[in-house]
Chain A
Amino acid sequence: MTTLDVQTVPTPAPAASDDILFQPIEASSSGFGSLWEVVRISFGSLLANKVRSLLTMLGVIIGVASVVSLLALGNGASASITGEIEAIGTNVLTISAGSQNRGPGNATAAQNLTMDDARAIEALQLPVIGVAPQLNSNAQIVAKSADKSAQIVGITPSFQVVNNLAMQQGSFITEEHLQGANTVIVLGSTLAKDLFGNGQAVGQTVRINNQSLRVVGVLTPQGGSAFGSEDDRAYIPITTAQKRLFNARTPDGNGYRVGSITLSAINASDLDALQSRVSMLLRERHHLKLDGSADDFNVINQAEILGTLTTITSMMTLFLAAVAGISLLVGGIGIMNIMLVSVTERTREIGLRKAVGARSHHILMQFVVEAAVLSMTGGMIGLMLGSIIPIVVTQMGLLDAPIDLQTVGVAIGFSLGVGLFFGIYPAQRAAKLNPIDALRHE
């Protein structure tokens, strides 16, 4: 008989005694299926339709990826532009000859910023690091074995202070050179290399407009900027430029023209006050009436330029991000579309869930969470894909385009918002279904 016992089929699963079924059920007072359960149900149904879920997410993925990469690249470009301006200095005022609204027949207005104006500004004893008049001209520089066309900048010794220039060799233009209108020249590093190769430049002679000039110094490389390289220029005393090279005598013959005057403020916050004080002085000196006639000079406030550029670049960034945002919107509509299809397909399931006790908010939650999971997952993937371009660009050294927390927040926030917004309507349709009709649905 024992063999028979051995052969009997295994007894039904041990278990849990049936008694449990007749004990009062322990339920949380709210009767609300925990959020975790709802999320679990949502994930289950999304995984059940993998291809469809992926295609639905694609809209959000592309949207978020483009928003993220454009925001990062835009912010990077903006930072690089403002960085260059800041490198020049945001405490700089540049006064140049000529009015902003110079018309035909007013060309002489360009001629009347003079050395005396610069001295008068200096005499005001303003809180500035220096006052640096300049006279620029392009000319051919001829050395023993090479020649090159370059910008010749006539300056005063304060130019070195105002522009933070350091010497690689020799010394800068001195006050003595200025007083004597000496025929000396300081070369930018690239220019020195072009003219003298790797040889010694200081002590050599170059010719400009048939005038011999002795090289007294070579600057350290300054690096390029958006406005041309400092390293390609040559610097001479402004008096030499005015008297010996470019004949910059004023039409009345009593003074010498300058191209521009640069002021470098000690405090950037003084810039506006400096600008109005200098403008007043120049109007007075140029005998301009106080009746609102236009200035015959032009003051460029570096801080203002920086402000304007910052505004422009951030506008551009926002604009690009908004365009990218449109694709996010389209992605959201895609989610709504699929959710509506899903509600229709699962009418019976909704009917069953309601029949066995699910209340409207359970069904609403299920579909809203499903839409939110779709869009959030899409947002995460989009964030990862969208980070690739900025990271590659940064790695290659083209642009420093960091993905900041704000960008991540915007991407995730937007995708969640899109999911909730476009998920609510289909979810409400599902929640409102009548269980009797829904159960009969084929």
Chain B
Amino acid sequence: MISLSDIHKTYQMGDVLVAALQGVSFSIDKGDFVAIMGPSGSGKSTVMNLIGCLDTPTSGTYVLDGVAVDQLSSNDLALVRGQKLGFIFQQYNLLPRQSALRNVEMPMIYRGVAGTERQRRAMAALNLVGMGQRVDHRPNELSGGQQQRVAIARALAGSPSVILADEPTGALDSKTSIEIMELLRRLNREQGITVVLVTHEHDVAAYAARVLTMRDGQLIGDQRN
């Protein structure tokens, strides 16, 4: 499903070239639940951006769902993101003036999904994350945990191949963090959704079935819980 081989990524920072990734290779199977761990600067965010098709590698190949995406144009990458990926962010990133329902519908607008189909899918996704009663609430009327649930619904609604979560509990208290992680685990187990998350917390990584550890731009650990 996700297959990275010998990925290098080099950034230009002023006059200095920074090698963020130095030959990373791994694969993730459909239905897996993977956590990527590592200290800051280890390259885990860079890996996440590459998997998320937000960026392209300097060298190496990346095949997502049978499609080689490593050399696509930015517009084609956007198309892939819309069709195959669902994103969950640390700061939820909901549109503040729109209802939960509209927020969940939003990504599907760019895929040309008709209004009624969009609403049915958005409702189903909100029900699935337990937010079916609050579809008309705006983000500022919801708690942090509820906002993250809406964000998860947004990621789910378009039937993505993979859900990518970047520090999904980073802004939540520990009790809510547990709820969110249990939700992700339930979605993974019951619905068979592939989840890849980045975290630096071991408690969070413990929910994953597999943990990849990064340091200095290289993969140094790959173990199953």
Contacts and interface: CB of A to CB of B under 8 A. Distances in A.
Interface in B101-142: 106-114, 117, 120-121, 123-125, 127-128, 130, 132-133
A177 interface: no
B87 A25 contact: no
Contacts of A31: 79, 82, 110-112
A358 interface: yes
A435 B85 CA distance: 15
Interface stretch (A14-22, A59-67, A76-84, A238-246): A14-22
B130 A12 contact: yes
Contact of B124 (A16, A348, A352, A354): A16
B52 A355 contact: yes
A349 B108 CA distance: 16
Contacts, number: 116
Interface string B16-54: 000000000000000000000000000000000100101
B159 interface: yes
A25 to B, nearest CB: 6
Contacts of A356: 81-82, 87, 106-107, 110, 154
Given A26-B114, A439-B89, A16 B133 contact: no
B191 interface: yes
A44 interface: yes
Interface in A1-57: 12-13, 15-34, 37, 44-45, 48
A16 B112 contact: no
A353 B154 CA distance: 12
A287 B128 CA distance: 109
A359 interface: yes
A43 to B, nearest CB: 12
A17 B124 contact: yes
B158 A25 contact: yes
A415 B88 CA distance: 41
B3 interface: no
B127 A33 contact: no
A352 B109 CA distance: 13
A27 B113 contact: yes
Interface of B: 49, 52, 54-55, 74-75, 78-79, 81-83, 87, 89, 93, 95, 97-98, 106-114, 117, 120-121, 123-125, 127-128, 130, 132-133, 154, 156-159, 191
A37 B109 contact: yes
A357 interface: yes
A48 B93 contact: no
Contact of B121 (A21, A33, A349, A358): A21
A314 interface: no
A344 interface: no
Interface string A422-437: 0000000000000110
Interface string A307-325: 0000000000000000000
A102 interface: no
B112 A13 contact: no
B159 A24 contact: yes
B123 A28 contact: no
A207 interface: no
Contacts of B120: 16, 20
A355 B81 contact: yes
Interface centre among A31, A48, A356 (most CB of B within 10 A): A356
A362 interface: yes
A279 interface: no
Contact of A21 (B79, B112, B124, B154): B124
A19 B124 CA distance: 8
A25 B54 contact: no
A407 interface: no
A360 interface: yes
Interface string A187-228: 000000000000000000000000000000000000000000
A27 B82 CA distance: 11
Interface in A235-271: none
B95 A352 contact: yes
A42 to B, nearest CB: 13
B181 to A, nearest CB: 20
B78 A26 contact: no
B113 A25 contact: yes
B191 A12 contact: no
Contacts of A45: 97
A18 B128 CA distance: 7
Contacts of A362: 110
Interface in A335-384: 348-349, 352-360, 362
A77 B130 CA distance: 70
B100 to A, nearest CB: 12
A333 B40 CA distance: 44
B110 A15 contact: no
B191 A30 contact: no
Contacts of B97: 44-45, 48
A353 B120 CA distance: 21
A357 B111 contact: yes
B84 to A, nearest CB: 10
A33 B110 contact: yes
B69 to A, nearest CB: 14
Contact of B107 (A34, A37, A357): A357
Interface centre among B112, B120, B154 (most CB of A within 10 A): B112
B83 A357 contact: yes
Contacts of A25: 83, 108, 111, 113, 117, 121, 158-159
A180 B130 CA distance: 115
